[in-house]
Chains A and B, each alone.
Chain A
Amino acid sequence: MVEQAFSHLDTAPVDEPRPHSITADFSSDRSVFKNVSWSKAMMWIFLLSDTFVFSCFLISYMTARMSTTVPWPNSSEVFALTIGGRSLPLILIAIMTFVLISSSGTMAMAVNWGYRHDRRKTAALMLLTALLGATFLGMQAFEWSKLIHEGVRPWTNPWGAAQFGSSFFMITGFHGTHVTFGVIFLLIIARKVWRGDFDQGRRGFFTSRKGRYEAVEIMGLYWHFVDLVWVFIFAFLYLW
């Protein structure tokens, strides 16, 4: 019942041309985001709030770094790896960046195939995305243990300002947690796709509602957001 009542509101009768839509949408006395389903709008609003959370972390890192009189550790040297006798700056972080971007690419492909109702390709691409995400996490675990082994703690480190450790663990840790949950949900949605839930209209375990292939796109929004946050972390925490 409720589902039917809402799905009626979801689909606006006619899509007006874009330039007129914004005032009309907000003053329509109806659902503002016409032709955008509730689940997608809610995911976007969640991502907006998550943006604020990550912004607060990055801003506190900026504040700590700008206001300290102690030299900040040189991230280029801290995150360097020696491969084959050569010290390569930031090489692990660069590989992690490429892995995460690749996972974003496979996720975009999964969304695309999802809307073509090709459940095998969609599920396979989502599993590949999850695998790349797990690879990213593995490399992050390696990086953390390397730094901890070298004596980096949230309250101290061998190279300079103590806040380096707290900023680093807080920001990358929170991002890694997001990746972890992303991998878990990727597996859950991939299983649903593989089983054909969205083709057969099988009802969800928690919601008792029928899912659609849009769930893949909404999962994709979250996953791309995780990649997006990494873009900013890479720029400010590692390169700056």
Chain B
Amino acid sequence: MSQAAAHTPASAQGQQHPLKLYLVVWAWLFILSTGSYLVDYFQLEGALRYSLIILFMLLKAGLIVAVFMHMAWERLSLVYAILVPMSAILVFVAIMVLESDHTLLSRVTFFASGH
């Protein structure tokens, strides 16, 4: 049964990939999640902590989007239509970082002791 099924040709629009690929990605997601948990468990501090959190997060997100959501095999026009607008988020983050620095500065300057 499984032998025959494994060689079923991909349907016209279906995303057909070997089962093993999903299992490998699944295992990696477990490893990376354990990694990010250990960052907190060992109470890593400073730049090491933040860079590891970001690294594990991006690797996990990349694996989920590329393999589980099949983005790696989608047509390039769809990939661009979805991924390029996301850069707007980074612009928004940059704007709000500047904004909150300014807010914090005013709070420290004018309301130093209060909330």
A and B form one complex: yes
Please report A residues at the B interface, Cβ cutoff 8 Å.
10-11, 18-19, 21-22, 25-26, 32-37, 41, 44-45, 47-48, 51-52, 55-56, 59, 62-63, 66-70, 76, 89-90, 94, 97-98, 101-102, 104-105, 107-109, 111-112, 115-118, 213-214, 217, 220-221, 224-225, 227-228, 231-232, 234-235, 238-240
Counting chain B CB atoms within 10 Å of each CB, the highest count among A33, A52, A76, A104 belongs to A104
Q: Is B78 an interface residue (CB 8 A)?
A: yes
- Specify which chain A residues have a CB less than 8 angstroms from the CB of B53 in the assembled complex: 235, 239-240
Which 8 residue pairs spanning A and B have beta carbons closest together? A66-B100, A67-B103, A67-B100, A25-B77, A105-B26, A235-B57, A115-B14, A94-B37
Query: With the chains together, A34 CA to B81 CA distance in Å?
Result: 13
Please report B residues at the A interface, Cβ cutoff 8 Å.
5, 8, 10-17, 19, 22-23, 25-26, 29-30, 33, 36-37, 39-41, 43, 50, 53-54, 56-57, 60-61, 64-65, 67-70, 74-78, 80-82, 85-86, 88-89, 92-93, 96-97, 99-101, 103-104, 107-108, 111-112, 115
Rounded to whole Å, the gap between the CB of B52 and the closest CB of chain A is 9
9 contacts between A and B (CB under 8 A): A52-B89, A66-B100, A90-B40, A98-B30, A101-B29, A115-B8, A115-B11, A227-B68, A235-B54
Query: With the chains together, A109 CA to B17 CA distance in Å?
Result: 10
Whether B92 contacts A55 by the Cβ 8 Å rule is yes
Query: With the chains together, A43 CA to B13 CA distance in Å?
Result: 15
Counting chain B CB atoms within 10 Å of each CB, the highest count among A67, A94, A231 belongs to A231
Closest to A229 in B: B61
Whether B96 contacts A25 by the Cβ 8 Å rule is no
Rounded to whole Å, the gap between the CB of B41 and the closest CB of chain A is 6
Known contacts A55-B89, A59-B93, A240-B50; decide if A213 and B14 are in contact (CB<8 Å). Answer: yes
Whether A37 contacts B115 by the Cβ 8 Å rule is no
Whether A11 contacts B76 by the Cβ 8 Å rule is no
- Specify which chain B residues have a CB less than 8 angstroms from the CB of A70 in the assembled complex: 115
Rounded to whole Å, the gap between the CB of A93 and the closest CB of chain B is 8
- Specify which chain B residues have a CB less than 8 angstroms from the CB of A68 in the assembled complex: 104, 107
Whether A109 contacts B69 by the Cβ 8 Å rule is no
Whether B76 contacts A37 by the Cβ 8 Å rule is no
